[in-house]
């Protein structure tokens, strides 16, 4: 497994990130443990979760599954760079009680204690703001984070789903306080969705943040969806974002061109989508959310894949990016 530094930190992290969103809602505890053992055995050391994963009445369940895995020992916790998130409402569904969500100092304090308990650990390596909070001042957020760092409960703070100017605002506020600021950004970024290249990734690079793309296959759209549709029936592997995109003739034509291209080069669509992200400037590593060990094995193969200049150029032709800013904004 190849490793890199997480942004401007001293943390060495794997270039593939294990996402745990499916642990609990889709994959049961025993199989989740098996997947985590396989990932760790393959050298994957950055595990990503969130306090709300498990969803609905089972919010927090995913963190609990990680906690029960850590409890098995074998230096599991010591080997993992653990990332979780704060923002979502952890109260019961439909309970309109204030201060149970977002980034107030009170909720950050409550949320980190809840995550530590569920995870069965006394510290979190990377504590991420799941979304921007437009109502809480950054001075309050950084004051709360600084206290947690001083207490040893978290090491670093990161963001998720931030705009480029949110990253700048957050880190300028941190600089005024002599706080460390954000060290990473999780964003939607893949071959079919490249808008992050306009402002988010340049902002992250300017402030020394590692970029951790989520949805690298764009909800399955880049995973050979047309082939699956053709081989296994109209409903196989086609749902959500993929199904909506394939209803659009232009997007369907684009995806067909993509699948034809990778077939020509003798590689798998999902492997190419992950491999492409690993060639992008500023990217630390994409998040994969395997539901099975077979899906994890596929993702691990992608890390070893080397894409030719010819293939990369052809991918740009099929999925042209917005181009560098500010030229990308010109008429």
Catalytically active residues, by annotation: 53
Contact call for residues 195 and 318 (beta carbons, < 8 A): no
Distance CA 128, CA 161 (A): 10
**Strands 3-5 and 12-14, sheet pairing:** antiparallel
How many residues appear in the chain? 331
DSSP assignment string, 46-110: EEE--TTTT-GGGTTHHHHHHHHHHTT-TTHHHH-EEEEEE-S--SPTT---TTSSTT-HHHHHH
Q: Say which residues have a Cβ less than 8 Å from residue 98's Cβ, sequence separation at least 6.
A: none
Q: What share of the chain is helix, strand, coil (3-state, %, to 5)?
A: 45, 15, 40
**Quick count: other Cβ atoms within 10 Å of Cβ 68?**
15
How many angstroms separate the first and last alpha carbons of the chain? 43
Q: Say which residues have a Cβ less than 8 Å from residue 94's Cβ, sequence separation at least 6.
A: none
**Quick count: other Cβ atoms within 10 Å of Cβ 211?**
24
**Quick count: other Cβ atoms within 10 Å of Cβ 230?**
12
As a three-state string, the secondary structure of 162-208 is CCHHHHHHHHHHHHHHCCCCEEEEEEECECCECHHHCCHHHHHHHCC
How many Cα atoms sit within 13 Å of 280 on the Cβ side? Answer: 28
Distance CA 7, CA 296 (A): 25
């Amino acid at each position: 497994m190849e490793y890199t530094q997480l942004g401007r930190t001293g943390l060495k992290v794997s270039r593939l990130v294990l996402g745990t969103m499916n642990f609990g809602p889709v994959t049961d505890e025993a199989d989740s443990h098996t997947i985590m053992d396989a990932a760790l055995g393959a050298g994957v050391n950055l595990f990503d979760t969130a306090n709300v994963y498990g969803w609905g009445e089972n919010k927090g369940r995913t963190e609990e599954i990680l906690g029960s895995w850590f409890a098995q020992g074998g230096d599991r916790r010591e080997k993992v760079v653990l990332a979780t998130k704060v923002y979502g409402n952890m109260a019961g569904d439909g309970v309109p009680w204030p201060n149970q969500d977002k980034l107030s100092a009170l909720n950050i304090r409550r949320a980190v204690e809840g995550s530590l308990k569920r995870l069965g650990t006394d510290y979190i390596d990377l504590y991420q703001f799941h979304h921007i909070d437009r109502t809480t001042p950054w001075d309050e957020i950084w004051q709360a984070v600084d206290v947690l760092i001083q207490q040893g409960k978290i090491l670093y703070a990161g963001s998720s789903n931030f705009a480029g100017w949110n990253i700048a605002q957050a880190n300028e506020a941190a600089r005024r306080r002599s706080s460390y600021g954000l060290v990473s950004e999780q964003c939607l970024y893949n071959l079919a969705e490249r808008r992050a290249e306009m402002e988010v990734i340049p902002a992250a690079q300017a402030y020394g943040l590692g970029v951790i793309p989520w949805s690298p296959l764009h909800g399955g759209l880049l995973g050979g969806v047309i082939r699956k549709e053709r081989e296994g029936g109209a409903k196989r592997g086609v749902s959500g974002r993929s199904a909506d995109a394939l209803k659009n003739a232009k997007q369907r034509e684009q995806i067909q061109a993509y699948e034809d291209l990778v077939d020509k080069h003798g590689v798998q669509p999902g492997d190419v989508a992950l491999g492409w992200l690993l060639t992008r400037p500023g990217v630390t590593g994409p998040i994969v959310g395997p539901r099975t060990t077979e899906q994890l094995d596929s993702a691990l193969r992608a890390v070893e894949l080397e894409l030719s200049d010819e293939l990369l150029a052809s991918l740009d032709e099929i999925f042209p990016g917005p181009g560098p800013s500010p030229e990308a904004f010109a008429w």
